[in-house]
Chains A and B, each alone.
Chain A
Amino acid sequence: MLIVNHLYKSFGGVLIVEDLSLRVDAGEVVALTGMNGAGKTTTLRCIVGAEDRDSGDISLDGQTLDERDPETRRRVCALLDDWAWFSDMTVREHLIMFAQAHGVEDKAVEAALLDLGLIQLADRLPGTLSSGQTRRFGLAQALVRPWDVLILDEPEQRLDGEGREWLGRYLRVCAEADRSVLMASHDPELQQASGARVIPVSVTGR
């Protein structure tokens, strides 16, 4: 169970996230919604440690979440929009390296490539993929490694209709397997398809 208590985050003098508390139970999909600039992405970045928070507690099953702890990195999978890759490694090589670093066998990579329709592109460099294919490549990360909590930042972006449908089904299956998903999303269809509980986030901007 992921618990966020009284999270505050500001940039310069402007408060972006003010006193945000939320809870994601095991087997639950939670979607943060709200206007642009409401602080959804910042909240997710604070949770995964990509940004330093000003104050507030974030815990997973009672343990403080700290991305410096290998156990946290083993349990939390984050797919934010800070996209990057090794320019000289193919799609398949990326995923194999990632899977092996998590102690998973290579077979999972082929399955993920098939699942996401990337098998034809597996030997291409990521820089040659379209933006939608790049998004699928990113989602493949979640399929080749074990995790307990999945954090997604607007995963529907740049995906075609088929991809969104697949994503909705996938998230629902994950929840059924007692895993937790927290995402920021503007897509009501995806929220519905994944059976997400919606938490509206409002703009602070002080």
Chain B
Amino acid sequence: MNGVDALKSGQADREARSQQDPASGDTYIVAVGVLVIGAMLVSSVARGFALKADVLVPVAGWFPWMLTVAWMAGILQLCRALGPAFAGRDYVRWVLPTPIDRARVLRRNFWLTSTICAALGALGGVVVLIAAMPTGVTLTAGILAPLVGAAAGLALHQLALFGQQRWLTPGRTRNLAGALLVAACVLATIGIRRRTGLELPPPGTVIVATVGVIVLLIYGWSLTQTRNWLRRIPVSRLIPGGDLSAAVSGSAIMLDAELLTIRSDRQLLRQHASFAMRANVGPTLLGFVVRDLTGCVRRWTVVASRLALVPGVWVVGSIFGPSMGAFCCAAVTYVVASTAGSKLRTWLGSSALWRVFPQHPTKITVALLAVPAVAAVGTGLLSAVGGGTKADVGIAVGLAATAAIVRRTYRPPLTMGAMIASPAGPVPVGLMLNVSYGIDLLVVCAAFSVVSNGVSAAICAATCLAWTAYRALPGGIKRPVFRRARDRFLRMGLGTAPRRR
């Protein structure tokens, strides 16, 4: 029996054994979930644009472009994160060190990721088409858009493969991806604008068609070389994608993002370990703020990627109105606050840390609140003002987002708990509580800011923030703080002292 046959035999044995396992069921659930989410996305985008077709006119020229670029950048990023070819650590340890043909081992996962990219590309094509033709989609365009999208997704997948097998350096991959993005945007515009009767933008049809043909030729040639490319992928570039896929499947099955968080934290730790010793900023509370800020500066790519969502809030606000804009603003602000407040979350989540520092935990909590609160309020302001919402709403939502991340640090543990019957089947209360804790506060505050005066919403959010921060502190610390406040209150002659037993 040769190596490949041995491997196939091993795989067949394992598959036969795993028939009793719910693996196929998991695949089915994931596939149905993707279909449902895709259908919901397309439907909501279509309905939203149909409703607000008049509002869309000012942004009609920009929005499809922005959507195309964002969608394709997302697909490329996904491809690069997954490999696009990947192998689990078990394969890396037991199969890839053997002399068997690496391409035969990797092609299954490779075609899986290419199918995902094609599906995402087709979905993107439909969404972009609806964004470009909100008043009605013609049959030809409806057929062409998903095909062009799928082709673009496959081209990006192939491009990522070049990068993975060292044929292209990361810099060259970025440049080529940029060129392909431009070419794809222009090609998409030809198709879409022809239908709407608008003139083509420069540089004109001939250049665009030439670029398109070149891209297609490169893609066709690279497809014929796939087997060779797969053979040339070094094992060191197969592991990260394998780890990611294991974390994603683990998180999906457990309905928990913890595995992904752990993976991302490990990656950050590895990144931080390579930094030179940081300057000593002293034991003062200002030092905590400076350290927190330094951490954000070091993770500037992560912070910048979160801030890049802000223009999306503007677009949503201008299309769907200020109410939807406020909720969207709340979501983006929460994401930014969560990123900027990683130290705060670690601090509040670990009782061991409270015993390490000589400063009073309340003071440290306040110091660590500074950066996420400022980042959240700043993002809220930027999103709100740019999207045509009131600035007060931005402030309220920013403070509420900070309160939400604090509230999530003491969320109840993940248990299924009691089950409630619902039209979608039984819903575990414990799971819902765990998932929604903190976000509930944000949603309520955002709703309040929509229906009420922005100032009162901001005051309400600030109160929520103070209350959640107080609740997050351990009991032994809370009591003296509360007593001191109460004593001060009493010294001012307001209220009566409690009776002692």
Contact = CB atoms under 8 A, between A and B. Distances in A.
B276 A13 contact: yes
Contacts of B90: 84-87
B236 A101 contact: no
Interface in A67-120: 67-68, 70-71, 73-74, 77-78, 82-89, 93-94, 96-98, 100-103
Contacts of A70: 99-102
Given A71-B99, A89-B10, A98-B94, A14 B274 contact: yes
Contacts of B102: 68, 70
Given A100-B3, A100-B6, A12 B271 contact: yes
Contact of B99 (A49, A74, A82, A85): A74
A66 to B, nearest CB: 8
A198 to B, nearest CB: 27
29 contacts: A10-B274, A11-B270, A11-B274, A12-B271, A12-B274, A49-B234, A49-B235, A50-B235, A67-B234, A68-B231, A70-B99, A70-B100, A73-B96, A74-B99, A78-B97, A83-B93, A84-B88, A84-B94, A85-B90, A85-B93, A87-B90, A89-B13, A93-B10, A97-B9, A97-B10, A100-B5, A101-B98, A102-B98, A102-B99
Interface in B399-446: none
Contacts, number: 96
A82 B7 CA distance: 21
Contacts of A98: 94, 98
B224 interface: no
A41 B101 CA distance: 27
Contacts of A123: none
A52 B17 contact: no
A10 B274 CA distance: 9
B94 A86 contact: yes
Interface of B: 1-3, 5-7, 9-10, 13-14, 17-18, 88-90, 92-102, 231-236, 270-271, 273-276
Contact of B92 (A77, A84, A96, A97): A84
Interface residues of A, number: 35
Closest 3 CB pairs of A and B: A12-B274, A100-B6, A84-B89
Contact of B100 (A14, A85, A101): A101
Contacts of A93: 10, 13
A51 interface: yes
A152 B235 CA distance: 18
Given A49-B235, A103-B2, A88 B92 contact: no
A178 B305 CA distance: 55
B273 A12 contact: yes
B14 A82 contact: no
Contacts of A50: 235-236
Contacts of A84: 88-90, 92-94
Contacts of B7: 97, 101
Contacts of B97: 67, 73, 77-78
A68 B97 CA distance: 9
A82 B88 CA distance: 12
Contacts of A73: 96-99
Contacts of A10: 274
